[in-house]
Amino acid sequence: MTLEEALALDAADPLAPCRDRFVQGEGLIYLDGNSLGQLPRATIEATGELVRVAWGEQLIRSWNEGWIDAPARVGAMIAPLIGAEADEVIVADSTSVNLYKLIVAALRQAQQRDPARKVVVSEAGNFPTDLHIAEGAVAAVAGAELRVVERGALADALGADTALLLLTHVHYKTAERFDMAGWTKAAQDAGALVCWDLSHSAGAVGVDLNAAGADLAVGCGYKYLNGGPGAPAFLYVAKRWQDLLHNPLSGWMGHAEPFGFADGYAAAAGMKRWLTGTPSVLGLGALESGLALWDGIDMAQVTAKSAALWDIFHAAGTAAGLECVTPQDPVKRGSHISFRHAHAYEIVQALIARGVIGDFRDPDILRFGLTPLTLSHADIWSAGQMLIEIVESGEYRRPEFAVRNAVT
């Protein structure tokens, strides 16, 4: 593709106006929205007013003027993006904490149905925190165990002892996407529940939890949802499970009457039982502002643009001699693209020095987020040309590019 062709695509792009809704760093091409989404311009004013007025002037009165309802209200904004009902999603804590809640709850419920069901099955190479949390969660349930197998062995790992299948919908390194409906059915046919991690899916690809018959899901707010660093996460529980599953972190905000101040715990109805401690109001406010940008966005257009951006950058990476590890079929991948190279870290640092921000995943993966709301086709074309130049010239071999940062 030529630059002129990329510009022509931009001129016809129905999502092009969305780009102006975000702060754009001068001289930067930001390809890391799959790790931290860009700052929406509206968030600056919204969070400023939240701090200045709601906190600064209204003070504690603001709890009764919107704060206390924010976890459910913001969850309802996420629901359409993941194919859920408004009362099936709530925002709380972090992805890791929410995952712990759901794993323990699923294990306990499964063992009530059948004591033999004690195993959580997951994929080797899953995002590390998912496996780390799963280790801690099974340790909290007597007799439970974690079974981690390669992707190709997942089907055989499901059986009469399986309580929960834990999968990340879009793989954090390769962007490979599971068939949600197919794997949900496989787990349920084996008598198990399934929990999906949507951290690299929500806002990136079309997700329909209810159409797939999913049981549980978690996801973060700081990637494609543009909620800001460390934004609150969300969790989903299908309505059919809401009265049967119980939050193991039984904090006061999940109580049926939190301001009744009873010593004993009585779980709230519906999704509110998945709250634990006092919600992060400032984080919720920023996330709510970021989610407001999705109003009126057509996910079919997002999907189509993601595929077009991918094709442009894939051609550049291939021309540079890099090995693409992301599936070429759009329905089998998310909205980032990854390449393998022995000097992946150095190449990423050389790109960053030129103002193209991607990231590196150990041991040899260059990863680039293709966020349709914030990027143009010309951006991707320009970034691709710089990638080719850096690899072909050997520019990445400069000693300073080999110095490892704490965050890669």
Fold of 49-292: Aspartate Aminotransferase; domain 2 (3.40.640)
Question: Average pLDDT, whole number, for the chain?
Answer: 97
Active site residue 236: no
- Residues above pLDDT 70, as percent of the chain: 100
pLDDT of residue 356: 98
Classify burial at 241, counting beta carbons within 10 Å of its beta carbon; exposed 0-12, middle 13-18, buried 19 or more. Answer: middle
Residue 114 pLDDT level (bands cut at 50, 70, 90) = very high
Has residue 1 got a pLDDT over 90? no
Query: Which of these is catalytic: 222, 224, 234, 313?
Result: 222
Contact (CB, 8 A) for 361 and 338? yes
pLDDT of residue 116: 95
Residues ≥6 apart with Cβ < 8 Å to 369: 31, 32, 33, 34, 35, 223, 335, 336, 358
* Mean pLDDT, rounded, for 99-125: 97
Instruction: Give the phi and the psi of residue 365 in degrees, each rounded to 5.
Output: -110, 125
Active site residue 223: yes
Query: Which of these is catalytic: 22, 100, 127, 360?
Result: 127
Active site residue 368: no
**Predicted TM-score of the model (pTM):** 0.95
Residue 408 pLDDT level (bands cut at 50, 70, 90) = confident
d(CA 6, CA 156): 45
CA neighbor of 99 nearest in space, from 127, 124, 119: 127
Has residue 320 got a pLDDT over 90? yes
* Mean pLDDT, rounded, for 382-399: 97
* Mean pLDDT, rounded, for 115-125: 97
pLDDT of residue 119: 98
Structure tokens at 278: 């006092």
Assigned CATH class of 3-40+298-402: alpha beta
Has residue 328 got a pLDDT over 90? yes
Residues ≥6 apart with Cβ < 8 Å to 199: 95, 127, 168, 172, 218, 219, 220, 223
Active site residue 185: no
Active site residue 367: yes
**H-type alpha helices, 90-190:** 95-113, 128-139, 154-157, 180-189
Query: Which of these is catalytic: 367, 379, 396, 401?
Result: 367
Residue 323 pLDDT level (bands cut at 50, 70, 90) = very high
Tell me the per-residue pLDDT of 125-156, one tens digit each, with 9 for 90 and over.
999 999 999 999 999 999 999 999 999 999 99
Query: Which of these is catalytic: 117, 118, 177, 223?
Result: 223
Has residue 216 got a pLDDT over 90? yes
Residues of the chain with CATH 3.40.640.10: 49-292
| Cis previous bond, 363, omega within 30 | yes
Residues ≥6 apart with Cβ < 8 Å to 7: 377, 378
- CB count within 10 Å of CB 17 equals 9
Lookup result for tokens 């103002």: 355
Residues ≥6 apart with Cβ < 8 Å to 64: none
Identify any residues that bridge with 226 across adjacent strands, giving them in sequence order: none
Query: Which of these is catalytic: 197, 215, 359, 379?
Result: 197
Has residue 360 got a pLDDT over 90? yes
Tell me the per-residue pLDDT of 234-269, one tens digit each, with 9 for 90 and over.
999 999 999 999 999 999 999 999 999 999 999 999
Tell me the per-residue pLDDT of 283-319, one tens digit each, with 9 for 90 and over.
999 999 999 999 999 999 999 999 999 999 999 999 9
